[in-house]
Structure 1
Amino acid sequence: MTTAPPTQPGGDFTLRPIEDEMRESYLSYAMSVIVARALPDVRDGMKPVQRRILYAMHDMGIRPGSQYRKSARIVGEVLGKFHPHGDASVYDALVRMAQLFSMRAPLIDGQGNFGSIDGDPPAAMRYTEARLAAIADELLADIDQQTVDYSDNFDDSLKEPRVLPARMPNLLVNGSSGIAVGMATNMPPHNLGEICDAINYVIDNPTCNVDQLMEIVPAPDFPTSGRIRGVAGVRDMYATGRGRIIMEAVTEIEDMPGRNSNRQRIIISELPFQVNKATLVEKIATLVRDKTLVGITEIRDESDRRGIRVVIELARSAQPTVILNNLYKRTALRSSFNAIMLALVDGQPQELPLKDLINHFVTHREEVIRRRTEYQLGRARDRAHIVEGLLKALDAIDAIIETIRSSQDVETARNNLVQQFDLSEIQAQAILDMQLRRLAALERQRLDEEYNDLLATISRLEDLLQNPQKIRAEIKRETREVKRKHADPRRTVIIREELQEQSIEQFIVQEDVVVTLSQRGYIKRVPIDTYRTQRRGGKGVRGANNRDDDVIMQIAVVNTHEQLLFFTNKGRVYPLSVYETPNDSGRTARGTLLVNLVPLQPGEHVQTMLPASRDEYNRLYVFATRNGRVNALRPGQLQNLRKSGLIAMKVLDGDELVAVRPAQSDASIILVTEQGQALLCPVTSVPERNRNATGVIGIKFKDEFGGKDHVVALEVVNDHEDEYLLVVSEKGYGKATPLCNSKGEPVYRETNRGGMGVKTFAVDQSDKLTGPVVDAKIVTSAEMNDEEGHEVFIISARGQVVRINLAEIKVVNTRQTKGVIIWRERGGDDSVVSIYCFRATDYSQDDPALQDGAAGTALAQAEEVAAQADSQYEEGEDEDVDEDTADDDIDDDGDGDDDPDTHVNGQAPLL
């Protein structure tokens, strides 16, 4: 015996678990949203609200070419008859179907403000007017011929179509977007002509694949034009129903007119689909204001009715390619369309590839044509039946007239006609309704012609129904007609090359910078024009607020797209991109500890910082240690550098690496010591080794220095007759000595490695006047003559940096002198620690990382700051040359004795 469920006061209802009630209610709600609101039907590509708007306008007679009607009236008609969900939802849908930037083929012809690509809202519905667009007729064609099913409206007072006949493939042409419950659709628009061709192709080739279809429909075609970058995502979408399409704006870099012709600007003329132009411009302005983007001076929106035009003016020093890359990366100028081709198939949501979408549309058109044919066949048969009766009546017109006249009433006359002349009731009624004018001979001829035409039509329609191939041929014919009437050229350009993974250099401004490295390991970079040019003897500008025990040891003028190689005292090498170095806004900033950027080991510090393009890793590098050992690293050993570093040369205990230089195998190297000795030898005399080699003896030190001499510089010599050795001492004395004199005779004779070298600088042994040699560089005659604006940086222990032209430095033809003062101490205990020659040959314009040939200007062409020197050249300083030419006990041929190999008339040559 069962017990009835308990009842509650106030009514009869049943208690049930809340989980069941929530599940069923949620599923009902979800299905309502999916089927009746958010997702389009695969057949006509319309959501219910869109379908109801078009049908209501069709029912109201607001056709293409007719008078516009107020949108409020249309919305009211839709609300009152078909869609009781609020006027906002109806008007929003109507507005979108009228927007040229939202629909590839707008279905509504709007008059008034229907919004803009800037996100401006449309005017209120009472101000705007609308009518059906011409192409909308293709969606509603034959709707009055029983081609689709109807259902009751919300109050069962009217009928509305469940789907439109849709002669046009609207789902693919205009796309669709909508968010349902647990699913969403996002279908891109396409070109009508391409889709029509694809439909006919699928009908003729039902076994075609996606690649064959993509020859006809290569990609979506957006109403805002733009570009599509790569087709891999498009193919995924067409093959699986999901894909990611990369869209780009159309931009152009052009020179500014008039007096600003030396400046450039970026013009944006087309935008990616669904990008808000006003928001885009605001985003760019925000990036400029926040200093995320530099080099932009002005942004203007010059768009009008003729199209989009956004002008981005650039500074003179700006690099358009880099700025454009940053705009693509940081703004919606490059955006993605994540396609989900989801639609309702028999009321069920399905993700559909392109071919399935076309097949469903063709199946729908087959059903529409079949039902239309059946309707037309029925009408033709009915009319033929009536015409047949009329023709019978004309054959016996006298008897029929007599029968009608003898009948008591119409009903009797109809019955008598049926009985006496073998007519149907319909035929008899048609005879009774026939006008007397039909008795004319010409009318008889017209009835005969109509009857024959009707028989032919009936035969054709019956044959059409019996032959599916002819139905498909009819679909092709109508599709071609739709294309002929409404197709237009493709708007979106397809760039088939896929978007490659972009290197960070593409987003880094190419500029010449000064990178400094202090003794305590602080590194920083500042723009090249931070240091102003001075005359020799100037006291310089502050290069860094270093601590008293810190010294700027390394300086390099490089481009931000180059790399730096850090060779340490332990013989290891570490790579670092220039743009990874800290960009300090002021020259006096200390910088960042290099150990935070490069994984230096305990007790390891950088001895040489070399700029290098990525194609220079395969070069020959020559190493020199403090104790005079040298090594030539075989090319290719630094080709695969890791961030963690590599051993470049194995350094012996008690020794350390001093310098590294890239060199050609036919070049020479020169070693310079603290006590002013210099040894010149060919690179070939240094055997090429692998990275773990300890090297060989390069230079020996004289006993007279009591073991206090060490190597301070290593330089590469490429042209003996055109190069100078620039030497600077601790107290600021310096000179440039030619490697060969005016007669082409060597001042520094090339010897084998392992010798003691020759005197190149007269070091004051008391260390009070000149101090020991601290650095030496090789410079060319062109650089010394200032033909290219070559300069030299002189760095002091207190961080002072003097920037002077090389032409300011005294050229001394004798080796055994101390030169002239090129740096002067200005208070406090300060001294020179290093120099750096700023020359065009240090800069490679062939760096493959520089895109589109937009290489930064050569260093020799860098804009110099023409400031007056803080300290003027003092009269008489050029006389500060030591004419002591004693060259006794100098082993200048490396054979271990004091006797030079070359004499003139029994005397040592005057060098």
Structure 2
Amino acid sequence: MSSDAPDAPDEVAERVKNVRVEDEMEQSYIDYAMSVIAGRALPDARDGLKPVHRRILYAMHEAGVTSNAGHRKSSSVVGETMGDYHPHGDSAIYDTLVRMAQDFSMRYPLVDGQGNFGSIDGDPAAAMRYTESRMAPIAEELLADLEKDTVDFESNYDDRTTEPTVLPAAFPNLLVNGSSGIAVGMSTNIPPHNLGEVVDATIALIEDDSLSNLDLMEHVKGPDFPTGANIVGRNAIKEAYTTGRGRIRVRAEYEIEEGERGDSIVITEIPFQQNKSRLVERIADDVNDGTLEGVRDLRDESDRNGVRVVIELKSNANTDIVENRLLESHLERTFGVINLALVDGEPKVLTLKEMLAEYLSHRREVVRRRSEHDLAEAEDRAHILEGRLKALDNAEDVVETIRNAEDRDAAREALEAQFEFSEEQSAHIVRMQLGSLTSMEAAEIEEEYEDVQAEIERLETILGSQAELDSVIVEELRELKEEYADDRRTSIIEDAGTVTDEDLIPREDVVVVLSEEDYIKRVPTETFSSQHRGGKGVIGSDLKEGDRVSTVFTANTHDYLLCFTNQGQVYQLKTYEIPEMSRTARGKSAVNLLDLDDGEELTAVVNTDDFGEDEFLTMVTRNGKVKRTPAGEYEDVLSTGIIGIRLEHGDELVDVEVTDGENDLVVASAHGMAIRFDESEARSTGRATKGVNGIKLREGDTVAGLVATHEGDDRALFTVTENGYGKRTPLTEYRPQSRYGYGLTDIKTEERNGNVVTVKAVTDDDHLIAMSQSGQILRTVAGEVSTVGRNTKGVKIMDLDDGDHVASVDVYTPSDEDE
């Protein structure tokens, strides 16, 4: 401001206050927050309504849009509400009106809508100019006796008229219809309940106010949602009712229907506030991306009569597993209960008993004020009737007095002076018609006077006794229950605990096949009958053109596996998650199970049941490095995998064995060499380390496999070559040496045999599962291969077609039943 600017007038300067900006912002925000809390977002504990709901109903009441009147354009109702009571956007008012008319949103709708008011699929309602509405009969119970001074009124936003601060509420609407809303720094989410149960609990509390929340739960079993479904377990309900907060699991209602082509899961009720169309879309997405397997078809057959979503399963699908997956991902939702409502204008979290107590306190006040109003009217009427009876007793004199009077005022004064009538009585008598002086009319007046006196006596009794007043409330609640109560829609089922897929999967041994293009499947081992050595086996996988088998291994469906890749990564896999398919099937993409990079292949699989904290995972690489790491370091495996070993450039992980710290290691090479040394020569290191040299390799040679053994081990070393030949040699023939030597000759790798594919430690009773690159699979008993010494050619294990080679071999120890 320039120095020559005029000074502000003194009276203006006196009104200016210096305040800190942060203090003003804080106070302004608090004022705004409280305005939102009290004026928009939270329901009143007495009538269970927010201001917008209350104003809509009151506007309809004032406009005569009651349940027995004709429907009125919704735009008219919105206009009346917005113009007189709720000076906010019309869309907010109409959205509220729409929800009050939706039978899938409100347990007992307060508005009777005509036209398109939306659907459970999330379809929006038609524009307000196209729909019509009126009050539902039960809504009128919220406004009953409003004209009898039962509640306080306040000026509307522009002081042109008044509106009620709360409705009389003949039933506990806060519990019956629930409420939800988000205020500043707080939110409310009160579930709806069954009217009959809530009324029973209210009556029980009237009769015995010492009842606890648990006692009241004998009447109120739990929330009762308009869409039905099931509440799982009672503990969350108990917590919500005793603390005001809780997390309730709501599960869809469905049934299993058997069919010729397979079972069907038919959903008939969905959790409250779940969008049915979006539910079907999400299930379809999971089916399409392979997350949900075994589904053949998905249809929404819902109509006006109710929900019906049909999920048809494939003939070979495990219905229990598909059902469990649906429950985990789609058919259960959590309803977070927050019983937050306004009590005396302040937000408060309420227990079940407190909600009923707040309603009862309000209802008692309403009935008291109604009784006082009715008593005053009855006394006024009795006073008038007394005057009429007195006039009848002196009919001739009264008529004569009135006739002799100059005008009405003189007649009233004369009656008051001569017969001691009050002003009200004299005014009424002057207005009486002569016909009312008949004897029949007199009898009717006397009868009415007696009735009025009885009513006065009844009202005085009610006002003079809490028990009598409560009996009136009880009687009215019972009548209301008789009129509007219905059966419970939401069932409460016991919580059987979390059921995992593993609980539903039968224990069985399976063969797992993985191709170079990452197609994976599992097949029960019993599918492959044992054959003599040297056979061709059977087709084990119908591969895509150009694809080849990379890995085959056996496991139990309940095994948790650590899968090691040639690039040194480790992934965790649950066997039952691998899709079960037929023997000749190609398999499914492993992208959702194993996040393998291009060129990354499984080279070793370890069952986590095979090792404990004091054991090690011992690894060998293609270039002869050996590394030992405590097994405990592989407990927490990320979905994207973890580093199992740090590899040098050009090296690859070949094999992994579980060792106990006192084992010997036998490392075999592709050119038929093998070295045995004590594992302690390879010191224990962390996961992301390279290891030490384990075997010296001649030019062109690489490591083929690793076996862990110990002194006195009576197993044999089974060596298999790429051309399908192999041999068994006792492990005792491989004498211990120092680490990092060339070792001894294990098998002759000539043109007939080809290079060594792998080595396994076997007993006579073990079975070998060998698979070729083209998908042929052979199961044979190890004992069929004669035991021979080292440095021999071996015998034919598997008959291969020209150009085909053995891809992978695993050892399988069958159970008694499998044999």
Same fold, TM exceeding 0.5? yes
The alpha-carbon distance between structure 1 residues 291 and 453, as it changes in their structure 2 partners (threshold 3 A), is same
Note the alpha carbon deviations across 1:832-859, whole angstroms, 9 max, x for none. 996756968567xxxxxxxxxxxxxxxx
Return the offset for 1:475: 0.9
Decide whether the 8 Å contact of 1:793 with 1:802 is kept in 2: no
Q: Measure, in 2, the Cα distance between the counterparts of 1:306 and 1:228.
A: 23
Note the alpha carbon deviations across 1:564-618, whole angstroms, 9 max, x for none. 699xxxxxxxx98535898579999731655898897475679xxxxxxxxxxxx
Q: Measure, in 2, the Cα distance between the counterparts of 1:377 and 1:33.
A: 39
Q: Measure, in 2, the Cα distance between the counterparts of 1:813 and 1:505.
A: 40
Decide whether the 8 Å contact of 2:193 with 2:223 is kept in 1: yes
Partner of 2:16: 14
Q: Measure, in 2, the Cα distance between the counterparts of 1:542 and 1:453.
A: 97
Give the SS at the match of 2:337.
Answer: strand
Return the offset for 1:15: 4.5
Decide whether the 8 Å contact of 2:69 with 2:134 is kept in 1: yes
The alpha-carbon distance between structure 1 residues 830 and 296, as it changes in their structure 2 partners (threshold 3 A), is closer
The alpha-carbon distance between structure 1 residues 281 and 414, as it changes in their structure 2 partners (threshold 3 A), is same
Partner of 1:211: 214
Partner of 1:889: none
Partner of 2:265: 266
Return the offset for 1:152: 1.1
Return the offset for 1:176: 0.5
Note the alpha carbon deviations across 1:304-339, whole angstroms, 9 max, x for none. 0010111122223322222222222223x2111111
Note the alpha carbon deviations across 1:748-781, whole angstroms, 9 max, x for none. xxxxxx9xxxxxxxxx99999999998766679x
1:711 corresponds to 2:685: no
Decide whether the 8 Å contact of 1:795 with 1:833 is kept in 2: yes
Q: Measure, in 2, the Cα distance between the counterparts of 1:565 and 1:117.
A: 45
Matches within 5 A, 1:763-778: none
Partner of 1:441: 439
The gaps in structure 2 that reach 5 residues or longer are 1-6, 544-548, 564-571, 579-589, 622-655, 666-675, 680-708, 733-745
2:230 equivalent among 227, 232, 240: 227
Decide whether the 8 Å contact of 1:389 with 1:431 is kept in 2: yes
Decide whether the 8 Å contact of 1:50 with 1:93 is kept in 2: yes
Note the alpha carbon deviations across 1:25-48, whole angstroms, 9 max, x for none. 222222221111111111111111
Partner of 2:575: 578
Matches within 5 A, 1:886-905: none
1:44 corresponds to 2:18: no
Give the SS at the match of 1:505.
Answer: helix
The alpha-carbon distance between structure 1 residues 777 and 286, as it changes in their structure 2 partners (threshold 3 A), is same
Q: Measure, in 1, the Cα distance between the counterparts of 2:404 and 2:764.
A: 135
Return the offset for 1:65: 2.3
Q: Measure, in 2, the Cα distance between the counterparts of 1:345 and 1:584.
A: 56
Amino acid at match of 2:139: A
Q: Measure, in 2, the Cα distance between the counterparts of 1:455 and 1:73.
A: 45
Give the SS at the match of 2:298.
Answer: strand
Decide whether the 8 Å contact of 2:562 with 2:605 is kept in 1: no
The alpha-carbon distance between structure 1 residues 578 and 382, as it changes in their structure 2 partners (threshold 3 A), is same
Decide whether the 8 Å contact of 1:792 with 1:836 is kept in 2: yes
Q: Measure, in 2, the Cα distance between the counterparts of 1:132 and 1:556.
A: 69
Partner of 2:381: 383
Note the alpha carbon deviations across 1:709-730, whole angstroms, 9 max, x for none. x7348xxxxxxxxxxxxx9999
1:823 equivalent among 791, 795, 798: 798
Return the offset for 1:444: 1.3
The alpha-carbon distance between structure 1 residues 349 and 774, as it changes in their structure 2 partners (threshold 3 A), is closer
Return the offset for 1:538: 2.5
Q: Measure, in 1, the Cα distance between the counterparts of 2:305 and 2:274.
A: 18
Give the SS at the match of 2:470.
Answer: helix
Give the SS at the match of 2:67.
Answer: coil
Decide whether the 8 Å contact of 2:178 with 2:189 is kept in 1: yes
Q: Measure, in 2, the Cα distance between the counterparts of 1:16 and 1:393.
A: 75
Please identify, of 819-828 and 486-495, the stretch whose mean Cα deviation from structure 2 is larger.
Answer: 819-828
Matches within 5 A, 1:489-888: 489-497=487-495, 500-503=497-500, 505=502, 513-515=510-512, 526-528=521-523, 537-538=535-536, 556-563=553-560, 577-578=574-575, 590-591=601-602, 594=605, 601=616, 603=618, 651=663, 711-712=716-717, 793-794=769-770, 802-804=776-778, 823-824=798-799, 836=811
Q: Measure, in 2, the Cα distance between the counterparts of 1:833 and 1:288.
A: 32
Give the SS at the match of 1:124.
Answer: coil
Give the SS at the match of 1:223.
Answer: coil
Matches within 5 A, 1:162-311: 162-256=165-259, 261-311=260-310
Q: Measure, in 2, the Cα distance between the counterparts of 1:212 and 1:44.
A: 23
Q: Measure, in 1, the Cα distance between the counterparts of 2:664 and 2:769.
A: 32
Return the offset for 1:508: 8.3
Note the alpha carbon deviations across 1:535-581, whole angstroms, 9 max, x for none. 95338889999xxxxx99x9654443345699xxxxxxxx9853589
Amino acid at match of 2:308: R
Q: Measure, in 2, the Cα distance between the counterparts of 1:205 and 1:42.
A: 21
Q: Measure, in 1, the Cα distance between the counterparts of 2:243 and 2:787.
A: 81
Q: Measure, in 1, the Cα distance between the counterparts of 2:280 and 2:748.
A: 69
Decide whether the 8 Å contact of 2:763 with 2:783 is kept in 1: no
Return the offset for 1:16: 2.9
The alpha-carbon distance between structure 1 residues 286 and 509, as it changes in their structure 2 partners (threshold 3 A), is farther
Please identify, of 576-585 and 140-149, the stretch whose mean Cα deviation from structure 2 is larger.
Answer: 576-585
Give the SS at the match of 2:777.
Answer: strand
Decide whether the 8 Å contact of 1:108 with 1:133 is kept in 2: yes
Q: Measure, in 2, the Cα distance between the counterparts of 1:27 and 1:770.
A: 86
The alpha-carbon distance between structure 1 residues 765 and 562, as it changes in their structure 2 partners (threshold 3 A), is closer
The alpha-carbon distance between structure 1 residues 120 and 602, as it changes in their structure 2 partners (threshold 3 A), is closer
Note the alpha carbon deviations across 1:321-361, whole angstroms, 9 max, x for none. 22222222223x21111111111111111111110010010
Amino acid at match of 1:14: V
Return the offset for 1:648: 6.8
Q: Measure, in 1, the Cα distance between the counterparts of 2:441 and 2:246.
A: 65
The alpha-carbon distance between structure 1 residues 269 and 66, as it changes in their structure 2 partners (threshold 3 A), is same
Note the alpha carbon deviations across 1:166-212, whole angstroms, 9 max, x for none. 00111101001111111111110000000000001111121111111
Return the offset for 1:480: 0.8
Matches within 5 A, 1:471-490: 471-490=469-488
1:322 corresponds to 2:321: yes
Return the offset for 1:413: 1.3
Give the SS at the match of 1:268.
Answer: strand
The alpha-carbon distance between structure 1 residues 37 and 564, as it changes in their structure 2 partners (threshold 3 A), is closer
Decide whether the 8 Å contact of 1:263 with 1:314 is kept in 2: yes
Amino acid at match of 1:251: Y
Amino acid at match of 1:178: G
Q: Measure, in 1, the Cα distance between the counterparts of 2:286 and 2:776.
A: 36
The alpha-carbon distance between structure 1 residues 176 and 584, as it changes in their structure 2 partners (threshold 3 A), is closer
Return the offset for 1:114: 0.4
Note the alpha carbon deviations across 1:771-814, whole angstroms, 9 max, x for none. 9998766679xxxxxxxxxx963358xx787534779x999999
Decide whether the 8 Å contact of 1:555 with 1:836 is kept in 2: no
Q: Measure, in 1, the Cα distance between the counterparts of 2:318 and 2:354.
A: 48
Give the SS at the match of 1:561.
Answer: coil
Q: Measure, in 2, the Cα distance between the counterparts of 1:454 and 1:838.
A: 98
Q: Measure, in 2, the Cα distance between the counterparts of 1:21 and 1:774.
A: 80
Decide whether the 8 Å contact of 2:255 with 2:265 is kept in 1: yes
Return the offset for 1:8: 8.4
Q: Measure, in 2, the Cα distance between the counterparts of 1:596 and 1:559.
A: 9
**Count of matched residue pairs:** 686
Decide whether the 8 Å contact of 2:245 with 2:339 is kept in 1: yes
Decide whether the 8 Å contact of 1:319 with 1:509 is kept in 2: no
Q: Measure, in 1, the Cα distance between the counterparts of 2:200 and 2:372.
A: 27
Return the offset for 1:426: 0.9
Give the SS at the match of 2:147.
Answer: coil
The alpha-carbon distance between structure 1 residues 476 and 58, as it changes in their structure 2 partners (threshold 3 A), is same
Q: Measure, in 2, the Cα distance between the counterparts of 1:729 and 1:483.
A: 83
The alpha-carbon distance between structure 1 residues 814 and 473, as it changes in their structure 2 partners (threshold 3 A), is same
Give me the TM-score of the superposition, normalised by structure 1. Answer: 0.66
RMSD: 4.9
Give me the TM-score of the superposition, normalised by structure 2. Answer: 0.73
Please identify, of 484-493 and 226-235, the stretch whose mean Cα deviation from structure 2 is larger.
Answer: 226-235
